[in-house]
């Protein structure tokens, strides 16, 4: 195998970007040069989305206009609702989300990606409408009518309201907002790269985001947070954690929520999420899943930490969503709701100096094979 072939393009730069940066050796994640921990403590998801998309923190007037624009574009057309109603209720929510986002492109102009103003409104619509689509599907598949968005509620508070038709404790919206910030962007990952390849063809932004959603669905990417909760529920109690971990490591079975291609220390997002767990459980009661997770991290760390394998962002996020009563298969759509701002930021950046992605391959097949007629095979 030639030495310049890197499976999975590991370590191969695919773009030059100023959107986010990861220092995997020190466990640092920055959005536009600002530490993600700082954004969680001082910012909001909508402000962070603006920062990612446009490269700077908004002024007071810019943020007010951005917020109003998002609020006024939360609603989705009834034909999108009809589309969701026609999908099998047993289907995965990511498939429903991908179909609905792709369909948005039939209702809104987006093909002229050189139109700066139109690109702004495309970004507004996608940031605004993804939560509405996710909440609508969550209710429709159980036979309930979608709950319309409320203009008097903040971004996260509104989503939780659309999901439950009730007002959750204020702390829930704060913690949920921080979860969205933590999932909003993460350099050149599989779904972002997928979106960039699609964007390089000058496809419309709805197609770009739909393609990224498809990549995010896989269990080796966004789908891992579902797998973590299922693993923790399978373990059941803290007493079972050591036996499960030791058996998994002995059988070379992957521990979901552990390890990262970039981080050689604990994922800084996992550290913040663990603290969010503590805040949530202090007010709303403990979670047996959290206690199991802490024991799994401690036990697994005895063997894995020396290999540079630590919990990643997926390990604790699902525990928070589970405590809020959110269905496990909605965890990855929540990831997409957050990451859409990062995808769109990379889309806009790609358009500034676009070049069509056309990688090469190393052919490993045969040459000069004869054709054999079917009656002689």
pLDDT of residue 192: 97
Whether 314 is catalytic is: yes
Task: Tally the domains of the chain.
Answer: 1
Q: Which domain holds residue 339?
A: 43-168+185-217+332-352
pLDDT tens string 1-10: 455 788 888 7
Mean pLDDT calculated for residue range 232-247: 94
Domain membership of residue 15 (yes or no) is no
Residue 4 lies in a domain: no
* CATH number, residue 140: 1.10.580.10
At residue 308, the pLDDT reads 87
Mean pLDDT of all residues in 230-238: 94
Instruction: Dump pLDDT digits (tens) for 262-272.
Output: 888 889 999 99
For residue 91, being part of any structural domain is answered with yes
Three-class HEC string of the chain: CCCCCCHHHCCCCCCCCCCEEEECCCCEEEECCEEHHHHHHHCCHHHHHHHHHHCCCCCHHHHHHHHHHHHCCCCCCHHHHHHHHHCCCCCCHHHHHHHHHHHHCCCCCCCCCCCHHHHHHHHHHHHHHHHHHHHHHHHHCCCCCCCCCCCCCCHHHHHHHHHHCCCCCHHHHHHHHHHHHHCCCCCCCHHHHHHHHHHCCCCCHHHHHHHHHHHHCCCCCCCHHHHHHHHHHHHCCHHHHHHHHHHHHHCCCCCCCECCCCCCCCCHHHHHHHHHHHHHHHHHCCCHHHHHHHHHHHHHHHHHHHHCCCECCHHHHHHHHHHCCCCHHHHHHHHHHHHHHHHHHHHHHHHHCCCCCCCCCCCCCCCCCCCCCHHHC
151 is catalytic: no
Task: Look at residue 3 in the predicted model and tell me its pLDDT.
Answer: 58
Whether residue 321 is contained in a domain is answered as no
> What's the rounded mean pLDDT across residues 20-36?
96
pLDDT digits over 185-220, tens only?
A: 999 999 999 999 999 999 999 999 999 999 999 887
Exactly one of 73, 183, 260, 346 is catalytic; which is it? 260
pLDDT at 1: 47
Mean per-residue pLDDT over the chain, rounded: 94
The count of C-alpha atoms lying within 13 angstroms of the C-alpha of 14, restricted to the half-sphere facing its C-beta, is 23
Average pLDDT over residues 66-72: 98
Calculate what percentage of the chain has a pLDDT beyond 90. Answer: 81
pLDDT at 6: 82
Q: Which of 177, 178, 314, 322 is catalytic?
A: 314
Q: Establish if 339 belongs to a structural domain.
A: yes
Average confidence (pLDDT) over 94-99: 98
Residues 139, 124: Cα–Cα separation, whole Å: 24
Q: Tell me, yes or no, whether 76 lies in a domain.
A: yes
> Who has greater pLDDT, 4 or 87?
87
Going by pLDDT thresholds of 50, 70 and 90, the confidence category of residue 181 is very high
Q: Give the residue-averaged pLDDT of 118-128.
A: 97
**Band of the pLDDT at 173, cuts 50, 70, 90?**
very high
**pLDDT tens digits for range 304-356:** 998 888 888 888 999 999 999 999 999 999 999 999 999 999 999 999 999 99
Asked whether residue 143 is domain-assigned, the answer is yes
pLDDT of residue 259: 82
Domain membership of residue 287 (yes or no) is no
């Amino acid at each position: 195998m030639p030495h310049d072939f890197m499976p999975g393009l590991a370590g191969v730069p695919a773009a030059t970007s100023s959107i986010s940066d990861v220092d995997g050796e020190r466990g640092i994640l920055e959005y536009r040069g600002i530490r993600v921990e700082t954004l969680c403590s001082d910012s909001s998801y909508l402000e962070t989305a603006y920062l990612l998309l446009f490269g700077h923190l908004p002024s007071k007037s810019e943020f007010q206009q951005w917020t109003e624009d998002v609020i006024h574009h939360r609603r989705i057309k009834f034909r999108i609702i009809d589309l969701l109603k026609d999908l099998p209720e047993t289907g995965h929510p990511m498939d429903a989300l991908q179909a609905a986002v792709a369909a948005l492109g039939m209702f809104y102009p987006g093909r002229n990606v050189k139109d700066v103003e139109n690109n702004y409104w495309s970004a507004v619509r996608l940031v605004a409408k993804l939560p509405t689509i996710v909440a609508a599907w969550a209710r429709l598949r159980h036979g309930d009518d979608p709950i319309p968005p409320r203009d008097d509620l903040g971004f996260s508070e509104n989503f939780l309201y659309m999901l439950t038709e009730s007002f959750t404790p204020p702390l829930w919206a704060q913690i949920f907002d921080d979860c969205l910030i933590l999932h909003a962007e993460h350099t050149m990952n599989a779904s972002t790269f997928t979106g960039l390849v699609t964007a390089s063809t000058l496809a419309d932004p709805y197609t770009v985001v739909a393609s990224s959603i498809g990549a995010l669905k896989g269990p080796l990417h966004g789908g891992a947070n579902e797998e973590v909760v299922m693993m923790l529920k399978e373990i059941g109690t803290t007493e079972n954690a050591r036996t499960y971990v030791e058996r998994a490591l002995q059988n070379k079975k992957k521990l979901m929520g552990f390890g990262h291609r970039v981080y050689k220390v604990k994922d800084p997002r996992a550290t913040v999420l663990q603290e969010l767990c503590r805040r949530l459980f202090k007010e709303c009661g403990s979670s047996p899943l959290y206690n199991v997770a802490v024991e799994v991290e401690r036990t697994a760390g005895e063997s894995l930490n020396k290999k540079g394998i630590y919990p990643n962002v997926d390990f604790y996020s699902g525990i928070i969503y589970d405590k809020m009563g959110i269905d496990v298969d909605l965890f990855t759509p929540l990831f997409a709701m957050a990451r859409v701002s990062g995808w769109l930021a990379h889309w806009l950046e790609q358009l500034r100096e676009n070049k069509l992605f056309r990688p090469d391959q190393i052919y490993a097949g045969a040459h000069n094979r004869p054709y054999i007629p079917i009656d002689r095979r």
